């Protein structure tokens, strides 16, 4: 059952820590006219967090007010926290039609919030994004279906950023499936294609043309249909004379399109984007790019796609993206055409850090499709549907 239509709630008191997503999701479960009080400790980081959260709530037409409980030391002082929460509830309207939402904040804040809710005869709620439920912790067997309607843009704007959709090429699923089927052909010259668009490369156009000619001449017996398909692709996108666009596509862009095409109609995905640029809201300066990103409305999954060489910098990038944009409610995945045995150091870092998951080999993408939102971070998914879990060192 849905909480929104279950009973009238006038005031919701939210505990806010460093993560904005749990509170933002929780706030959307109640009636639009509900007032949301954001309770937090005062520090430079939490002030920035609640400003972004309040701005996001305002964009949704939700009323909110920030209440600072004290300096950051109060978050770890139960003796001071409990009476402060009781005072706030008494002042701002804790009653039969007010509830406490304790998903955010520190564990100590959550415990103090639950105690306060019990003392004031208020319901205390906790958001379970994995199970897509809203649990009432102090009422037996009371739970509600979680309304999950967040867009990719909402996830990003909660972190003071904005998104710009990529200017993507017109690519058919059949075309990139053909390239994936014959990926070894394109991988044979991929490093040269990438080098041709490096600003440090001398005579880059000549390098690209040479690499392309070499690839076609060596493998024309394996890809006899390629010439016609390639010409049709160039014409459809108006890039017959744009060798740089061709080089970017052949150096790995095609695999990003392939992953996107394979995922975009999967059940459970509410929204998916390809080559999305993330920029600062203040000056629109570009900060990051998501190869592929998708959401079910509750959690965000960021995918880095690699058809060629994989280095540890890509793992670091994903770890940063997870911390910045998806946090505890999201995941990041590295999808590589190569085997994990080709990138031993990368695979070991994935296992040890437990921040992202790796999907390797031509079967890797199928494994991701089988585990869109429930894959296990710190895991390297291998061929034949097997996975190698993290090996912990003493």
pLDDT at 18 over 90: no
Give 147's DSSP letter.
Answer: -
Confidence (pLDDT) at 388? 53
Confidence (pLDDT) at 394? 35
The stretch 25-48 carries a mean pLDDT of 89
Task: Give the whole-number percent of the chain exceeding pLDDT 90.
Answer: 55
The CA distance from 233 to 172, in Å, is 9
Higher-confidence residue of 385 and 164: namely 164
Confidence of residue 17 (pLDDT cuts 50, 70, 90): confident
pLDDT at 6 over 80: no
Confidence (pLDDT) at 96? 62
Confidence (pLDDT) at 7? 56
Instruction: Output the furthest CA–CA distance in the chain (Å, rounded).
Output: 80
Q: 242-283, pLDDT tens digit by residue?
A: 999 999 999 999 999 999 999 999 999 999 999 998 887 665
Angstrom distances, CA of residue 376 to CA of 250, 297, 304, 351, 388? 31, 19, 16, 10, 11
Confidence of residue 21 (pLDDT cuts 50, 70, 90): confident
The stretch 170-175 carries a mean pLDDT of 95
Confidence (pLDDT) at 317? 79
Mean pLDDT of the chain: 87
* CB distance 13 to 89 below 8 Å: yes
Confidence (pLDDT) at 95? 58
The stretch 163-167 carries a mean pLDDT of 86
The stretch 348-372 carries a mean pLDDT of 91
**Burial tier of 31 (Cβ tally within 10 Å: 0-12, 13-18, 19+):** middle
Confidence (pLDDT) at 68? 94
* CB distance 317 to 304 below 8 Å: yes
* Alpha helices for 70-106 (secondary structure H): 78-92
Task: Give the whole-number percent of the chain exceeding pLDDT 70.
Answer: 91
Q: 106-155, pLDDT tens digit by residue?
A: 889 999 999 999 998 899 999 888 788 899 998 877 888 988 889 999 98
* CB distance 99 to 122 below 8 Å: yes
Confidence of residue 366 (pLDDT cuts 50, 70, 90): very high
Strand partners, 136: 125
Confidence (pLDDT) at 325? 64
CA 289 to chain centroid, in Å, comes to 12
pLDDT at 221 over 80: yes
Confidence (pLDDT) at 386? 47
Instruction: Tell me the domains of the chain and their CATH numbers.
Output: 3-147 (3.40.50.10770), 173-258 (no CATH), 266-388 (3.40.1350.10)
pLDDT at 393 over 60: no
Buried b (16+ CB within 10 A) or exposed e, 189-217: bbebbbbbbeeeeeebeebbeebbeebee
Q: What is the DSSP string of 204-263?
A: HHHHHHHHHHHHHHHHTTT-TTHHHHHHHHHHHHT-TT-HHHHHHIIIIIHHHHHHHHHH
pLDDT at 56 over 80: yes
pLDDT at 387 over 70: no
The CA distance from 57 to 63, in Å, is 7
The stretch 28-41 carries a mean pLDDT of 90
Confidence (pLDDT) at 385? 44
């Amino acid at each position: 059952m849905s909480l929104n239509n279950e009973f009238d709630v006038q005031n919701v008191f939210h505990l806010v820590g460093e993560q904005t997503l749990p509170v933002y999701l929780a706030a959307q479960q109640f009636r639009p006219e509900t007032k949301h009080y954001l309770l937090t400790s005062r520090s430079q980081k939490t002030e920035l967090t609640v400003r972004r959260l309040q701005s996001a709530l305002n964009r949704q037409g939700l009323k909110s007010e920030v209440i600072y409980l004290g300096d950051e030391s109060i978050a770890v002082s139960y003796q001071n926290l409990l009476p402060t929460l009781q005072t706030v509830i008494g002042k701002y309207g804790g009653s039969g039609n007010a509830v406490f939402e304790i998903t955010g904040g520190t564990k100590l804040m959550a415990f103090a919030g639950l105690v306060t809710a019990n003392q004031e005869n208020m319901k205390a709620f906790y958001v379970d994004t994995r199970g897509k439920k809203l649990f009432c912790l102090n009422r037996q067997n009371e739970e509600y279906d979680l309304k999950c309607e967040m867009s990719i843009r909402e996830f990003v704007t909660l972190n003071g950023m904005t998104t710009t959709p990529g200017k993507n090429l017109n690519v058919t699923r059949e075309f990139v499936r053909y390239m994936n089927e014959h990926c070894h052909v394109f991988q044979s010259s991929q490093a040269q294609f990438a080098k041709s668009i490096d600003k440090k490369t001398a005579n880059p156009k000549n390098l690209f043309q040479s690499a392309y000619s070499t690839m076609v001449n060596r493998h024309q017996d394996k890809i006899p249909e390629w010439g016609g398909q390639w010409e049709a692709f160039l014409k459809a996108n108006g890039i017959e004379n744009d060798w740089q666009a061709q080089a970017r596509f052949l150096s790995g862009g095609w695999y990003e399109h392939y992953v996107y095409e394979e995922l975009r109609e999967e059940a459970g995905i509410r929204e998916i984007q390809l080559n999305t640029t993330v920029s600062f809201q203040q000056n629109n300066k570009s900060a990051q790019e998501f190869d592929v990103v998708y959401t079910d409305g509750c959690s965000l999954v960021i995918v880095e796609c690699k058809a060629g060489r994989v280095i540890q910098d890509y793992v670091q990038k994903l770890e940063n993206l997870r911390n910045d944009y998806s946090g505890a409610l999201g995941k990041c995945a590295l999808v590589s055409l190569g085997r994990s045995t080709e990138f031993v150091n990368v695979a070991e870092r994935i296992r040890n850090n437990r921040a992202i998951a790796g999907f390797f080999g031509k079967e890797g993408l199928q494994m991701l499709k089988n585990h869109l939102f429930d894959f296990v971070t710190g895991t390297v998914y291998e061929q034949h549907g097997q996975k190698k879990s993290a090996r912990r060192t003493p």
